[in-house]
Amino acid sequence: MFSKILIANRGEIACRIIRACKGLGIRTVAIYSEADRESLHVKQADEAVCVGPPPNDQSYLDMPNVLMAAVITGADAVHPGYGYFSERENFADALEAIGIKFIGPPVEAIAQMGDKARAREAAMEAGVPVVPGSEGVVRTESEALEIAEAIGYPVLIKAAAGGGGRGIRKATNPENLVSQMQTARQEAEASFGSGAVYIEKLIENPRHVEVQIIADAYGSCVHLGERECSVQNLRHQKMIEEAPFALLSPEKRQEIGEAAVRIARQVGYVNAGTVEFLMDAEGNYYFIEMNTRLQVEHPVTEQVTGIDIVRTQIEVAAGKELPFTQEDITWTGHAIEARITAEDPDRNFAPSCGKITEWNPPKGEPIRLESHLYRGFEVSPFYDPMIAKLIVTAHDRVAAVELLSRALDEFRIEGIKTNIPFLKHLVQTEEYVKGDVHTQTVAQMMQPAEAHAR
Ligand code: ADP
C-alpha cells in the first residue's frame, strides 16, 4: 500500500479523498493556491504545499509545480480527483516517468477515451450502440453537410476533446450547420486547445444514464449500476443525480451494465470510470462518452451499493485485486445528490462570491454532506461554483425525494447567494416528484421566466 498520497485538487473532493486515505492509514499532502490558504483540505491534510497564485493555470493546473510538490514531499502516489489533471494523459505519463503512481486508468485508456471521436469507435467495436453520427472527426464543411443530411437534422456539433458540457452546438439546417461548426471549432480551440469536432444526431429529450465501472489490473471489471443525471442546467451541467434509475427494469440494468463493462474491457481499462449513455423515450440507449476518472456524483452509487469507490480506487492503484465480483454487488434503497452552487438564481445563475457568515447544513443520519465550507470561509471567484453536495438516502425514491426537499429547506447559508431556492422549487415540481424528467426539463422550466424577463 502507498504510504503518502498527494491530492492534486481542491474543495470538497480533496476533503473526500483525504478521508479515504485516513481510513487506509495513508499520509496525505494537500496542494493549494494562495486563495485557498484557509481551505479545509489544507487543514485536514498531514502536509500542504502552496503551488502558486489564485488563477488555476498558475497553481492547480501548473504541471511543473504540482509534480514538484509530489517530489519534494516524497509522495508515492497522486490522486487527481475530478477536473484539473484527472483526464490529462501527459500528467499521468509524467508521474509514471518519475516513479509516482497515478491513481487512475492507464495513460493509453485516458488518451483513447479523452478523444470522444475515438471513444465512439471503441464503443462500436465493443458492440455497443452509439448515437448516429460521423465516423470520427469531421474536417470539412461539405463532409459535415453530407453527414447531417444522412442522419437528419437537428444535429449536434461536439468538440472531440470536449468536457463539462462545453463545446456543444446545435444545428437545425444546412445554413446554420456551417456557422455553428465554425463557432464550435473556435470554442473547442479556445477551451481545449484542439478545434477537432464530430457530429451526432440530436436525441430529442433524452435521459442521461451513466454506469459506474471499476476494474483491477488482473482482468476483473465490475459495474456498480447506473445513475440517472437528467436534471441539467442550460449548459448541460448536472444539477441532481440519483441511483438507481428508478424506472429501469432489472433486465435493462443488467444489459446497460454489461455494455459499460464491454467498453471498459475494449480499452484495457483499470481503476474507476463512468460510461455515459443517452436513453430515449423507448428505452433505447446510446453511448456518448466515458469519463476516465472519479465522478462528482460517485456518492450516490456508494450509498446504494455500500462500496467506497475512492478507497477501492486507491487499493486497485496499489496493485490489489478488486475485493468483490459482479455477483457480490447488490443495490439497496435510493440515493439522490443535489449540487449546491454559489450561483444566484435571481441573476441568471451568475457566480456569487464572498465570506460565509452563516453555515448550518441539514443534519441527521441518512444525510451525507460533502463540502469544504465553514463559517468564515471566503468563496473565491477563481474556482468552480460548486460548494457542497447534499446526498440523501432512503428506502425508495418517494421517501428520498421527500427527505431531499426537507434537507434543502433546512440548509442555511448566509453571506453568498446559492442555487438552493431553485433546487427547492425544482424538487417539488410534479415532473420531478414523478421522476418524469429528461435533459431539457430544467431548460423548459426556465423558459417562461426568460420570456417574462424579455
Ligand atoms: P461533456 O463531455 O461536455 O459532458 P457529453 O457528450 O457528456 O458532453 O454530453 C453532455 C450532455 O449534453 C448530455 O448529458 C446531454 O444532456 C447533452 N447531449 C450530448 N449529446 C447529445 C445528443 N446527441 N443528443 C441530445 N443531447 C445530447
List, for residues 266-317, the tens digit of each pLDDT value: 999 999 999 999 999 999 999 999 999 999 999 999 999 999 999 999 999 9
- Which atom of ligand 1 is least distant from the CA of 291? 2
| Helices and strands (H and E) in the chain: how many | 15, 22
> Closest ligand 1 atom to the C-alpha of 229?
14
> pLDDT tens digit string along 171-220?
999 999 999 999 999 989 988 889 999 999 999 999 999 999 999 999 99
- Pocket probe for ligand 1: among 168, 201, 276, 438, the residue whose CB has the most ligand atoms within 8 Å is 168
Q: Are 214 and 312 in contact (CB under 8 A)?
A: yes
Among residues 304, 310, 393, the alpha carbon closest in space to that of 22 is found at 310
Distance 336 CA to ligand 1 centre (A): 21
Confidence class for position 165, pLDDT limits 50, 70, 90:
confident
How many angstroms is it from 235 CA to the middle of ligand 1?
Answer: 10
158 CA: nearest ligand 1 atom = 6
Q: Which of 128, 276, 113, 154 is nearest to 207 (CA)?
A: 276
Judge: domain 132-201, CATH 3.50.50.60.
Answer: no
* CATH architecture classification, 207-453: 2-Layer Sandwich (3.30)
| Amino acid 448: pLDDT | 59
Mutate to test the pocket of ligand 1, among 120, 285, 293, 439 (most ligand atoms within 8 A of CB): 439
**Cα–Cα distance measured from residue 348 to residue 340, given in angstroms and rounded to the nearest whole number:** 15
Rg (CA), the chain: 21
The torsion defined by the Cα of 53, 161, 342 and 210, in degrees rounded to 10, comes to -140
CA 157 to ligand 1 center in whole angstroms: 10
d(C-alpha 367, C-alpha 389), whole Å? 10
Q: Is 228 in the pocket of ligand 1 (CB under 6 A)?
A: no
pLDDT > 50? residue 453: no
Q: What would the grid cell of residue 201 be?
A: 444526431
Mean pLDDT of 84-94: 97
Any atom of ligand 1 within 6 Å of the Cβ of 231: no
DSSP string, 107-164: HHHHHHHHSHHHHHHHHHHTT--B-SB-SS-B-SHHHHHHHHHHH-SSEEEEEEEEET
pLDDT of residue 449: 53
Q: Judge if the beta carbon of residue 130 lies within 6 A of ligand 1.
A: no
Which atom of ligand 1 is closest in space to residue 208's alpha carbon? 14
**Does the C-beta of 278 come closer than 6 Å to ligand 1?**
yes
Mean pLDDT over the full length of the chain: 95
Residue 222 CA to ligand 1 centre (angstroms): 25
Q: Which of 181, 150, 151, 154 is nearest to 168 (CA)?
A: 181
Residue 264, H or E segment: helix 250-266
Dump the DSSP string for 333-377: SEEEEEEEESEEGGGTTEE--EE--EEE---STTEEEEE---TT-
- In the chain, the amino acid numbered 2 is F
**Catalytic positions, written as ranges:** 293
- Cell triple for residue 353? 462570491
- In Å, how far are 24, 120, 300, 350 from 41, measured between CA atoms? 17, 37, 22, 26
Output the pLDDT for position 452.
41
Percent of the chain residues topping a pLDDT of 90: 92
Query: Per residue in 32-70, pLDDT tens?
Result: 999 999 999 999 999 999 999 999 999 999 999 999 999
Please name the residue whose Cα sits nearest to atom 9 of ligand 1.
165
Closest residue by CA, ligand 1 atom 19:
288
Q: At residue 86, what is the residue type?
A: S
Ligand 1, residue 440: give the atom nearest the CA.
Answer: 16
Q: Is 128 exposed, middle or buried (0-12, 13-18, 19+ CB in 10 A)?
A: buried
Residue 365 has pLDDT above 90, yes or no: no
Per-residue pLDDT at 170: 94
- Tell me which amino acid residue 121 is: E
By most ligand atoms within 8 Å of CB, the mutation choice from 86, 240, 278, 296 for ligand 1 is: 278
Query: Is the beta carbon of 232 within 6 A of some atom in ligand 1?
Result: yes
C-beta separation of 312 from 323 below 8 A: yes
Q: What percent of the chain has pLDDT over 70?
A: 98
Residue spans in the chain of domains classed CATH 3.30.470.20: 207-453
236 lines ligand 1 (CB under 6 A): yes
Ligand 1 center from residue 217 Cα (angstroms): 30
How many residues does this entry show for the chain? 454
What mean pLDDT comes out for the span 403-418? 98
Does residue 214's CB lie within 6 angstroms of at least one atom of ligand 1?
A: no
Which of 288, 296, 441 maximizes ligand 1 atoms within 8 Å of its Cβ, making it the mutation to test the pocket? 288
C-alpha closest to that of 234 among 429, 424, 397, 422: 422
| Separation of CA 303 and ligand 1 centre (Å) | 26
State if residue 115 touches ligand 1 by the CB under 6 angstroms criterion.
Answer: no
Residue identifier of the C-alpha nearest atom 14 of ligand 1: 208
Q: Where in the chain is the domain with CATH 3.40.50.20?
A: 4-103
Q: How far is the CA of 289 from the centre of ligand 1 (A)?
A: 9
Alpha carbons 230 and 206: distance in angstroms, whole number: 8
Establish whether residue 235 lines the binding site of ligand 1, counting it when its CB lies within 6 angstroms of any ligand atom: no
Using one digit for the tens of pLDDT, what is the confidence trace for 120-144? 999 999 999 999 999 889 999 999 9
Q: Report whether residue 119 contacts ligand 1, using a CB cutoff of 6 Å.
A: no
CA of 446 to the centre of ligand 1 (A): 19
Q: Of the candidates 454, 369, 393, 445, which has an alpha carbon nearest to the alpha carbon of residue 19?
A: 369
Q: Retrieve residue 4's grid coordinates.
A: 503518502
Classify domain 4-103 by CATH architecture: 3-Layer(aba) Sandwich (3.40)
Cβ–ligand 1 distance for 163 under 6 Å, the answer: yes
Q: Which helix (H) or strand (E) element contains residue 215? A: strand 207-215
Within 216-327, strands assigned E span: 221-232, 238-243, 271-279, 285-291
Distance 159 CA to ligand 1 centre (A): 11
Strand order in the sheet with 271-279: 285-291, 271-279, 207-215, 221-232, 238-243, 334-341, 386-394, 367-371
**Bigger pLDDT: 453 or 108?**
108
Beta bridge partners of 197: 138, 159
Domain ranges in the chain with CATH number 3.30.1490.20: 132-201
